[in-house]
């Protein structure tokens, strides 16, 4: 391993070691074996890359750079590094950037030296992971920059790619945003359908408190009156849904700090600062994870 920092180190990412290992296996298997279990032996796994096996001598070694093709914020580099290590365990890796860094087009993010067949077999899987995560981090940073100085925090939602939620929510953090909740298990969110089933906001909140007394309770409100009703029912957190800035400001005043407030629904980057200036604590942006384009990255094999 070259360099002072191991590019594969997950410390500080909040990503589970076993989950990352499984993601790497599943991603490589999708590309190399069509989803069948990946052979444990790296050379046997690499042999499934029919193009590289036919065109690259088995003993040929080389160096490749993972390079930014556009300006942005990077994320997922330790996971991408582990993709290379899975197929090229003897490879040396050197970090050129760290997750959360702003990078410019042409910057080298990671350098890998090892058997060329393995580097090429790992290329697309590594790029797919890092490009997706970096795209989310880049979009998040744009929103964070837009509300800078207002005190408002940019949040994600549960609108994530199936089975990639830990990576995508980590990418939001790399971009300077925060995670609202990881799933249905860690926060109670009372929405209109729950209110309809329970009979009222107060009944819904009371039912959650009885069943899960330690879980924070969030309530969605479409009007100022609903927001007041929810906070008086004991909600910890209010989702102020599809309210224009003037109504948001009114709701924040009416709540009077008795619960945290979040603007959600129909938000745009152009209007983010005006929304943040209403005094809400958070802006919730589902598009961070469901619609962010990738950050264009490439792997360049040195001649």
Residue 137 or residue 1, greater confidence: 137
Instruction: For residue range 14-68, list pLDDT tens digits in order.
Output: 999 999 999 999 999 999 999 999 999 999 999 999 999 999 999 999 999 999 9
Active-site hit among 124, 132, 141, 181: 124
Predicted pLDDT at 303: 77
Calculate mean pLDDT across residues 268-289.
98
124 is catalytic: yes
For 131-173, write each residue's pLDDT tens digit: 999 999 999 999 999 999 999 999 999 999 999 999 999 999 9
Which one from 159, 209, 249, 258 is the annotated catalytic residue? Answer: 159
Average pLDDT over the chain, rounded to whole? 96
Say whether 115 sits in a helix, a strand or coil: strand
| Tens of pLDDT, residues 195-234 | 999 999 999 999 999 999 999 999 999 999 999 999 999 9
220 is annotated as an active-site residue: yes
Residue 4 pLDDT > 90: no
Strands (DSSP E) found in 119-203: 153-155, 188-190
Q: Which residue among 5, 102, 105, 191 is the active-site one?
A: 191
Annotated catalytic residue 107: no
Model confidence, pTM: 0.95
Instruction: Confirm whether 191 is a catalytic residue.
Output: yes
Per the annotation, the verdict on 30 as an active-site residue is no
Check if the beta carbon of residue 293 is closer than 8 Å to that of residue 140.
Answer: no
pLDDT at 1: 38
Amino acid 2: pLDDT: 40
Q: Which residues contact 83 (CB under 8 A, 6 or more apart)?
A: 24, 27, 28, 122, 125, 126, 129
CB-neighbour burial class of residue 115 (10 A; exposed 0-12, middle 13-18, buried 19+): buried
Cα 205 to Cα 200: distance, rounded to the nearest angstrom: 9
């Amino acid at each position: 391993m070259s360099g002072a920092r191991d590019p594969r180190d997950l410390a500080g990412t909040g990503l589970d070691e076993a989950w990352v290992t499984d993601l790497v296996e599943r991603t490589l298997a999708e590309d190399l074996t069509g989803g069948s279990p990946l052979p444990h032996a790296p050379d046997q796994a690499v042999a499934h890359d029919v193009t590289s096996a036919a065109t690259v001598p088995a003993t040929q070694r080389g160096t490749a750079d993972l390079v930014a093709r556009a300006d942005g914020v990077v994320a997922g580099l330790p996971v991408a590094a582990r993709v290379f290590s899975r197929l090229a365990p003897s490879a040396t890796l050197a970090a050129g950037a760290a997750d959360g860094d702003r990078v410019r087009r042409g910057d080298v993010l990671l350098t890998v030296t090892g058997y060329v067949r393995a580097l090429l077999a790992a290329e697309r899987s590594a790029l797919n992971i890092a490009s997706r995560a970096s795209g989310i981090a880049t979009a998040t940073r744009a929103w964070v920059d837009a509300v800078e100085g207002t005190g408002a925090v940019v949040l994600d939602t549960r609108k994530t790619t199936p089975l990639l939620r830990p990576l995508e929510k980590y990418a939001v953090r790399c971009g300077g945003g925060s995670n609202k909740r990881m799933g249905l298990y860690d926060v109670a969110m009372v929405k209109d359908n729950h209110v309809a089933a329970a009979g009222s906001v107060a009944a819904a909140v009371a039912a959650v408190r009885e069943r899960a007394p330690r879980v924070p309770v969030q309530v969605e409100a479409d009007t100022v009156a609903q927001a007041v009703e929810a906070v008086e029912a004991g909600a910890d957190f209010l989702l102020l849904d599809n309210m224009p800035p003037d109504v948001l400001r009114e709701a924040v005043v009416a709540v009077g700090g008795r619960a945290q407030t979040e603007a959600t629904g129909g938000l745009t980057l152009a209007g983010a600062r005006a929304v943040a200036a209403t005094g809400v604590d958070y802006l919730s942006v589902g598009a961070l994870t469901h619609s962010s384009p990738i950050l264009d990255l490439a792997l360049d094999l040195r001649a």
